[in-house]
Structures are given as structure tokens and as C-alpha cells.
Amino acid sequence: MKRIFLDNAATTPLDPEVMAAMTEVMSGTYGNPSSIHAEGRKARSLIEAARKTVANYLNCSIGEIFFTSGGTEANNMALKNAVRDLGVTRIISSPLEHHCVLHSLDAIRATGAARVEMVRIDERGHVDLEDLRKKLAEEGGKTLVSLMHSNNEIGNLLPLEAVAELCGDAGAMFHCDTVQTIGYFPIDLDRTRVSFLSGSAHKFYGPKGVGFVYVNSDNIIRPYLDGGAQERNMRGGTENIYGIVGLARALEIAAAEREARMAEMWEIKRYFIEQLKSVYPQVAFNGDTENSHCKVLSVSFPESPKGDLLLMNLDLAGISASGGSACSSGIDVGSHVVGHLHPDSKRHTIRFSFSHHNTREEVDAVVSKLGGML
């Protein structure tokens, strides 16, 4: 049975060109990049070339890019170091952030080092910019705003430039979780003032276990992981060379094919919405289906006796989807995002997330198979 993969917000398949680039490094570049001999210098050159690729994509300095194990580490590093090293005593965020941000905020709050405030979310899941403006105008000490570029469960997009401008005008720092949008949207950090930004390779057809954090050069922070002098003394531990090379190659391909990929995903997403509405008129969509990432669609189905088994039955039918974020899949805790937007709803929610590899035929198959599951 050929499976239909509609969980691309959780992860994406490794691009064959990326795999080839990584395999070449695995087989031929075994030196430690901290060593000064030829093998070490070769490994170091690959890492620095990858750093330049990321910096060019973001239009920032190579000295502002640090490789990490992924988005979770990058977000933890930005939030916790901002409090520890930069004197941040107030963080403004939203209740719809990824759990790695929310749990980091819980840990910060528990230390008493900074207080955390939540900005209002409107009925469609967008950040209320007027409420953010009011909060920024209040006296509250050195402030960091932490908001994600695209919600990983409902796909809503943050007006990145507008939020950056609000933060800049108020003298606040701005951390943006861009894990879902790197490789899909152009981001120009020379024009858009951001203090910290995070990315993860496996969201744009690269390998798992590698990502990066952008740290604006104005922010002088100490290492998050202590060890050797790797990553310019900012992250101890021997670098994941082939992962870093894979990240850079995946980003190069994503940037080159961005417009074509986005057009294909929008076509699939809109077709899926049309087919669902036509066959199952009682379905509802969470968030703003247009002002959102083409990759993500959150669908709520009417309450039914079979609803609790919907995700499992999809899997048995060869369809991979998610009940919310991947971090909650398989655990019956529900989606904190959908729960915040619709606290009294008893509907059953599935997140379908697309790639440029998906087809109309796959959509038709999913819509057809859903009939016996509802």
C-alpha cells in the first residue's frame, strides 16, 4: 500500500540531492573541524560555507549564525540567554506558541528572573497587534517579544515586519520562531529588525537533528552549552558536519524552487478545502485559511462516535496526518492551539500539512476514505 504523507509540518522527507551531499561528506570528510591539519581544515571549510548559505538567505552577517541541534535548542537558547545575559525582565508572547517556547517560558517564570505576559489572540487565531502595542507602551523593564512567524498547527502568519517595527519603536527585543517558514518565505534581516530567529533543517527537506539560531550582533550572550570553542565559543561540542552541509543544501534548493513549490502547495491546499466542503459541508477550518502558510490546514470534523479513532483509522488507511502538533501526536492531550480558540468545542481536529510532492489524486483518495471514518 502506497502511503499518503500529509504531515509535512511535523517533518519533511529528505531530498535526494541533500542525501547525496551528506553522503559525500560522510564518506570523504572525517576530520574534526577544530583540528588544524588538512582534514580538519577541509571540515571547517564546509561548515563555514554552509554558514554563508544561511546568512545569504537571511541577508545577515555570517557571524550572526550559530548551528544548533534544531529549533527547540535555538528557541531555548534565545529566550533563556536573553534573560540571563541581556537583562530581560519581561517577555511578551502568545498562548499559541510551540511547546518548546511555552515550556521555556514556564521555566523562566519559575526562576522569578522575568515575568511573562500573553498578548491577546483574536477569534481567527491572529495576534492582536493593538494589544501588543498597548503592552509594549507599558512600563515593564527590558522587554523581549517572542512570537512565531507561522503557527505550526493552524498555519496563521504573523505580520513579521509590522511586529518588528512595533518592537523597534518601543525599544523591545524581538525573538521569532521561524521553524515553519524558513525555506518557504523570503526573510530579509537587513530590512526587518529581529533580535533572535530560529530554523530547523527537517522542515524544508533537510536532515533531522540540525538547525540554527540567528543572534543579532548587538546581543552579546554567553554560551548556552559549555564545552570547547566550537561555534566561535558559543556552542560546545563537535559540529554535526554532514547535518550542517545537508541543511545548507536543502536551503539552497528550497530558495531556488520556492515560488514553484509554494504555488503547488497552495493549489493542493485550496483543492483539499474545496473537496472537503463539497463532500462534508459540516467541517470547519481552524485559523485563517488564506492569511496562512500554504503548508498547513487544521480541520475540525463534527462530533461522532468514531471521531476518537479518526487519526488511527487514517493511519490504518495509509494516510499520515496529525491530531495537532507532532509533539502531541499519540498522546491524548488535544491541541492547545485549537483548545484556546474553541475551548468548548467537542469536534475532532486533524492537521493536514502539505508538500509540493502531494497530488490532487492523493487529496481525492483522502476525501473518499474519510467517508467511512466519520
The residues carrying an active-site annotation are 327
Strand partners, 37: none
The cell for 287 is 485559523
Cell 533543517 belongs to 201
Q: List, as one string, the DSSP characters of 94-111.
A: -TTS-HHHHHHHHHHHHH
Ramachandran quadrant class, 32 (left: phi over 0; alpha: psi -120 to 50; beta: rest): beta
Find out whether 146 and 167 touch, Cβ atoms under 8 Å.
no
Q: How far apart are CA 246 and CA 371, in angstroms?
A: 40
Provide the edge-to-edge strand list for the sheet that holds 296-301: 284-286, 296-301, 348-353
Please give the angle made by the CA atoms of 171, 174 and 177, to the nearest 5 degrees: 175
The cell for 317 is 488507511
Burial class of 211 by CB neighbour count within 10 A (0 to 12, 13 to 18, 19+): buried
Handedness of CA 120, 125, 127, 128 (dihedral sign): negative
Residue among 340, 277, 308 nearest 121 (CA): 340
The cell for 141 is 523593564
Q: List, as one string, the DSSP characters of 328-365.
A: GTTSTT--HHHHHH-TT---EEEEEE--TT--HHHHHH
Please enumerate in sequence order all residues whose Cβ is within 8 A of that of 268, keeping only pairs 6 or more positions apart, or say none: 354, 358, 359, 360, 363
Cell 523591545 belongs to 172
Find out whether 21 and 245 touch, Cβ atoms under 8 Å.
yes
